[in-house]
């Protein structure tokens, strides 16, 4: 029985899944199965784009029969002749004898090599200058040699802005009912398999993959239909940005992949000691026993992480077999642009380190740390200094580590009593204009601390700096409004309410008379998305700030714009730091909150920002 899915009105997925295959291409385990995608375009002419592996032949033929609805098949476009996409070509010809095969010159050679097909009067040869018009649609062909074989071409349909990408953008894993990447949590559940597919199948040919990306960049693409895995119709950038990294061998994440081969656990012990010390230094680590984890997973991880540690026992006077295979595999996949450290073990003649080094030295742009950690049988206390030396060398390449980590030793301070102020910035905050009224005086200030406290009774809390005039007014009147700022809020609004004191200025003077809620307090009608009025029920002096708990007396939504978060403000609203007049000569410190620049060699510890009143701890060196 057929099993198909519609992609557009005239494009249908007619592929099939295989969940019984143990080893894809005889070498890559596929525990979640694999899909073989094929697409049927039903225009004035009917066009099948690629076929499938012989394992799913029967379902595939049923699928085409259903999707054609009794029509003849006019064209079979063969983009890639590897048999997982061409194995059913003879069956197609038998069933639809009038079908014309559309392919490139190199593909025709391979068709003749693989199959007994009389190609006379059967083949329409195409290249980048010979599109195939099918009625409403025209398929344009783009040669993509070595992505993943030399004959590969991809096809572009400008009518629906679809790229049929052959092996590019493919993914291991059966489709399980979902056809589109947006029907699953791709990043969480499938990105690792997409990376494993790319790294192992196409990884060697980064230059060619990059060339294809460059050609594709000139096209308006709204959908990508690969030969394995999901169709992309949303968030194409999610997968394209990964391909931009993978094809240029740039790591996705900074961190260390430790791969070890250990017969009795002593080499593993050395790798684990180093991994623990790296983690203590704040460096991300992943570890693989190369004798247990399939090589394709480690190759895939190598495309993800920035640094490697290879730890191998010596075996038959060489590298341990599984480690040797891994290093060869990585070199064969052209891994580059990484830093590597080596641990060797050998009870009487450790040689594996030097041999691994020789192999890595042949890879492009791999920096190998000078010091090899050399162990005889088991790690001894005297060798901890060697591990420390490698640790230090690796950690020195992570300048972004939190400030409190000692860059020389990688050591973190004692846990007790250490407070990283940056941790507070990891909390998520909104941004609000808190307004109050005392007699005829209106005032307001920017706060980032408003939150619902309870649902019943409906209460919110706000925390406001005691130096702010608005705080005084709320303490006196017990009433306030919160206007929730939206992402369209300009920096000028933050300046208006955040960088001057209501004691000396009328913050509303340069704007039309503000609207008011029933409590008589002004609110901000634009660049906000809701307004909440509240009456204070309790307050608490928290030191620099006063916390108010208040009953909500009115709340309304005035815009569908997203709320501005504190992070959004920093990323999108706050202007970049102004240049000091003679930047080369002068030193200064910039307020992370408002951008005010203090010029001077040393920022006094008790310095308060004259604009936003934040303290010295919120300044960074310019
Ligand atoms: Fe899925 Fe290169 O074939």
- Mean pLDDT, range 23-42, rounded to an integer: 97
More confident residue, 614 or 185: 185
Q: How far away, in angstroms, is 126 Cα from ligand 1 center? A: 20
The answer to whether residue 15 scores a pLDDT higher than 70 is yes
**Could you please report the per-residue DSSP string of 125-171?**
E--TT--EE-SS-EEEEEE-TTSSSTT-EEEEETTTTEEEEETTT--
The two tokens of residue 30 are 């596929």
User: Which residues 6+ apart lie within 8 Å of 292 measured at CB?
Assistant: none
pLDDT band (50, 70, 90) for residue 408: low
The pTM is what? 0.68
pLDDT band (50, 70, 90) for residue 307: very high
CA distance 328 to 185: 34
Q: How far away, in angstroms, is 429 Cα from ligand 1 center? A: 47
Atom index in ligand 1 nearest the CA of residue 36 equals: 1
- Mean pLDDT, range 557-567, rounded to an integer: 92
The answer to whether residue 579 scores a pLDDT higher than 50 is no
Q: Which residue is it, tokens 């004898």? A: 97
Q: Report the pLDDT value the prediction gives residue 611, as an integer from 0 to 100.
A: 73
**Other residues' Cβ atoms within 10 Å of the Cβ of residue 156:** 22
pLDDT band (50, 70, 90) for residue 571: confident
Residue 197: name the closest of 232, 156, 239, 235 by CA.
239
Atom index in ligand 1 nearest the CA of residue 149 equals: 2
Residue 412 near residue 404 (C-beta atoms within 8 A): yes
Atom index in ligand 1 nearest the CA of residue 170 equals: 1
- Mean pLDDT, range 300-309, rounded to an integer: 98
The answer to whether residue 129 scores a pLDDT higher than 50 is yes
Residue 159 near residue 138 (C-beta atoms within 8 A): yes
CA distance 451 to 549: 10
Q: How far away, in angstroms, is 515 Cα from ligand 1 center? A: 64
More confident residue, 407 or 565: 565
The two tokens of residue 171 are 């993914």
pLDDT in tens, 423-468: 777 788 999 999 999 999 999 999 999 999 999 999 999 999 998 9
Q: Report the pLDDT value the prediction gives residue 580, as an integer from 0 to 100.
A: 42
Q: How far away, in angstroms, is 168 Cα from ligand 1 center? A: 9
pLDDT band (50, 70, 90) for residue 585: low
- Mean pLDDT, range 109-134, rounded to an integer: 96
Strand order from edge to edge, sheet including 46-49: 5-8, 11-13, 39-42, 46-49, 75-77, 100-103, 123-125
Q: How far away, in angstroms, is 396 Cα from ligand 1 center? A: 41
The answer to whether residue 338 scores a pLDDT higher than 70 is yes
CA distance 84 to 17: 12
Query: pLDDT exceeding 70 applies to what percent of the chain?
Result: 95
Q: Report the pLDDT value the prediction gives residue 410, as an integer from 0 to 100.
A: 56
Helix count (H) and strand count (E) of the chain?
Answer: 16, 33
Q: Report the pLDDT value the prediction gives residue 420, as an integer from 0 to 100.
A: 58
Q: Report the pLDDT value the prediction gives residue 310, as an integer from 0 to 100.
A: 98
Q: Report the pLDDT value the prediction gives residue 586, as an integer from 0 to 100.
A: 59
Torsion angle (degrees, nearest 10) of CA 272, 278, 284, 289: -20
Given its phi and psi angles, is residue 410 left (phi above 0), alpha (psi -120 to 50 degrees) or beta?
Answer: left
Atom index in ligand 1 nearest the CA of residue 152 equals: 2
Residue 352 near residue 315 (C-beta atoms within 8 A): yes
User: Which residues 6+ apart lie within 8 Å of 59 measured at CB?
Assistant: 2, 3, 16
Q: How far away, in angstroms, is 36 Cα from ligand 1 center? A: 9
User: Which residues 6+ apart lie within 8 Å of 383 measured at CB?
Assistant: 270, 373, 375
The two tokens of residue 198 are 């790319």
More confident residue, 130 or 586: 130
Q: How far away, in angstroms, is 85 Cα from ligand 1 center? A: 7
- Of 184-188, 415-419, 420-424, which gets the smallest average pLDDT? 415-419
pLDDT band (50, 70, 90) for residue 419: low
* Structure letter (DSSP) for residue 569: I
CA distance 433 to 497: 7
Q: Residue 307's beta-bridge partner residues? A: 256, 339
Q: Report the pLDDT value the prediction gives residue 278, as an integer from 0 to 100.
A: 96
Q: Report the pLDDT value the prediction gives residue 174, as an integer from 0 to 100.
A: 98
CB-based burial label for 167 (10 Å; 0-12, 13-18, 19+): buried
pLDDT in tens, 493-549: 998 998 877 887 889 988 889 999 999 999 999 999 999 999 999 999 999 899 999
CA distance 273 to 336: 26
Atom index in ligand 1 nearest the CA of residue 201 equals: 2
Given its phi and psi angles, is residue 616 left (phi above 0), alpha (psi -120 to 50 degrees) or beta?
Answer: alpha
The answer to whether residue 96 scores a pLDDT higher than 70 is yes
Q: Report the pLDDT value the prediction gives residue 582, as an integer from 0 to 100.
A: 41
CA distance 548 to 552: 12
Q: How far away, in angstroms, is 458 Cα from ligand 1 center? A: 59
The answer to whether residue 414 scores a pLDDT higher than 70 is no
Q: Which residue is it, tokens 């071409």? A: 153
More confident residue, 500 or 567: 567
3-state secondary structure of 325: helix
pLDDT band (50, 70, 90) for residue 594: confident
Q: Whose CA is nearest to atom 3 of ligand 1?
A: 82
* Ligand 1 binding site (Cβ under 6 Å of any ligand atom): 80, 82, 84-85, 148-149, 167, 227-228
Q: Report the pLDDT value the prediction gives residue 412, as an integer from 0 to 100.
A: 56
Q: How far away, in angstroms, is 95 Cα from ligand 1 center? A: 24
Atom index in ligand 1 nearest the CA of residue 228 equals: 1
CA distance 155 to 465: 61
Q: Report the pLDDT value the prediction gives residue 600, as an integer from 0 to 100.
A: 85
Torsion angle (degrees, nearest 10) of CA 593, 599, 603, 608: -50
Q: Report the pLDDT value the prediction gives residue 581, as an integer from 0 to 100.
A: 43
Q: Report the pLDDT value the prediction gives residue 415, as an integer from 0 to 100.
A: 47
The answer to whether residue 407 scores a pLDDT higher than 60 is no
The answer to whether residue 61 scores a pLDDT higher than 90 is yes
Q: How far apart are the first and last CA of the chain?
A: 68
3-state secondary structure of 59: helix
Residue 368: name the closest of 378, 376, 383, 358 by CA.
358
* Structure letter (DSSP) for residue 411: P
Residue 164 near residue 155 (C-beta atoms within 8 A): yes
* Percentages of the chain per state (helix, strand, coil), in multiples of 5: 30, 30, 40
The answer to whether residue 416 scores a pLDDT higher than 70 is no
The two tokens of residue 43 are 């225009």
């Amino acid at each position: 029985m057929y099993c198909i899915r519609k992609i557009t009105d005239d494009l249908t997925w007619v592929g099939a899944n295989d969940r019984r295959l143990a080893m894809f291409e005889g070498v890559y385990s596929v525990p979640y199965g694999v899909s073989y995608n094929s697409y049927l375009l039903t225009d004035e002419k009917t066009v099948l784009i690629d076929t499938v592996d012989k394992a799913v032949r029967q379902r595939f033929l049923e699928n085409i029969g259903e999707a054609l609805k009794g029509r003849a098949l006019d064209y079979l476009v063969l983009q890639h002749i590897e048999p997982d996409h061409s194995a059913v070509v003879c069956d197609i010809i038998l069933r639809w004898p009038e079908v014309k095969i559309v392919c490139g010159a190199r593909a025709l050679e391979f068709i003749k090599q693989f199959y007994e097909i009389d190609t006379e009067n059967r083949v329409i040869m195409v290249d980048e200058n010979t599109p195939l018009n099918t009625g409403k649609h025209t398929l344009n062909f783009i040669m993509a040699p070595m992505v993943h074989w030399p004959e590969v071409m991809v096809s572009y349909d400008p009518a629906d802005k679809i790229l049929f990408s052959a092996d590019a953008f493919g993914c291991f894993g059966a489709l399980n009912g979902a056809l589109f990447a947006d029907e699953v949590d791709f990043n969480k559940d499938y990105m690792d398999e997409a990376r494993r597919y790319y790294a192992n199948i196409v990884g060697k040919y980064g230059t060619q993959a990059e060339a294809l990306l460059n050609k594709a960049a000139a096209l308006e693409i709204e959908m990508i239909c690969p030969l394995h895995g999901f169709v992309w119709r949303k968030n194409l950038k999610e997968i394209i940005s990964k391909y931009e990294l993978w094809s240029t061998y740039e790591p996705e994440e900074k961190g260390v992949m430790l791969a070890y081969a250990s017969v009795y656990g002593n080499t593993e012990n050395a790798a684990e000691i180093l991994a623990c010390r790296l983690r203590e230094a704040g460096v991300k680590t992943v570890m693989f026993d190369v004798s247990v984890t399939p090589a394709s997973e480690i190759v895939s991880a190598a495309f993800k992480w920035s640094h490697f540690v290879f730890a191998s026992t010596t075996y038959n006077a060489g590298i341990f077999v599984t480690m040797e295979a891994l290093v060869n595999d990585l070199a064969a996949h052209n891994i580059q642009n990484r830093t590597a450290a080596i641990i060797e073990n050998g009870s009487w003649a450790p040689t594996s380190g030097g041999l691994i080094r020789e192999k890595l030295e042949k890879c492009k742009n791999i920096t190998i740390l000078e010091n090899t950690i050399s162990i005889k049988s088991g790690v001894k206390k005297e060798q901890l200094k060697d591990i420390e030396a490698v640790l230090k060398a690796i950690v020195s390449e992570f300048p972004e580590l939190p400030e409190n980590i000692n860059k020389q030793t990688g050591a973190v301070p004692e846990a007790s009593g250490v407070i990283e102020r940056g941790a507070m910035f990891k909390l998520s905050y909104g941004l609000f204009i808190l307004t109050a009224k005392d007699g005829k005086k209106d005032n307001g200030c920017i706060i980032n601390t408003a939150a619902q406290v309870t649902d019943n009774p409906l209460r919110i809390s706000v925390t406001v700096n005691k130096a702010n005039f608005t705080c005084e007014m709320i303490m006196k009147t017990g009433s306030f409004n919160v206007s929730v700022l939206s992402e369209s809020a300009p920096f000028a609004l933050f300046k208006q309410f955040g960088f001057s004191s209501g004691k000396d200025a009328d913050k509303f003077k340069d704007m039309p008379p503000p609207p008011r809620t029933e409590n008589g307090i002004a609110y901000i009608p634009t660049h906000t998305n809701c307004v909440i009025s509240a009456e204070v029920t309790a307050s608490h002096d928290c030191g620099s700030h006063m916390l108010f708990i208040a009953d909500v007396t009115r709340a309304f939504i005035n815009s569908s714009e997203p709320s501005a978060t504190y992070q959004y403000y920093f990323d999108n609203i706050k202007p970049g730091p102004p240049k000091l007049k003679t930047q080369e000569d002068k030193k200064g410190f910039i307020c992370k909150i408002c951008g005010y620049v203090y010029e001077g060699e040393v920022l006094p510890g008790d310095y308060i920002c004259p604009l936003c009143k934040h303290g010295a701890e919120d300044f960074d060196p310019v």
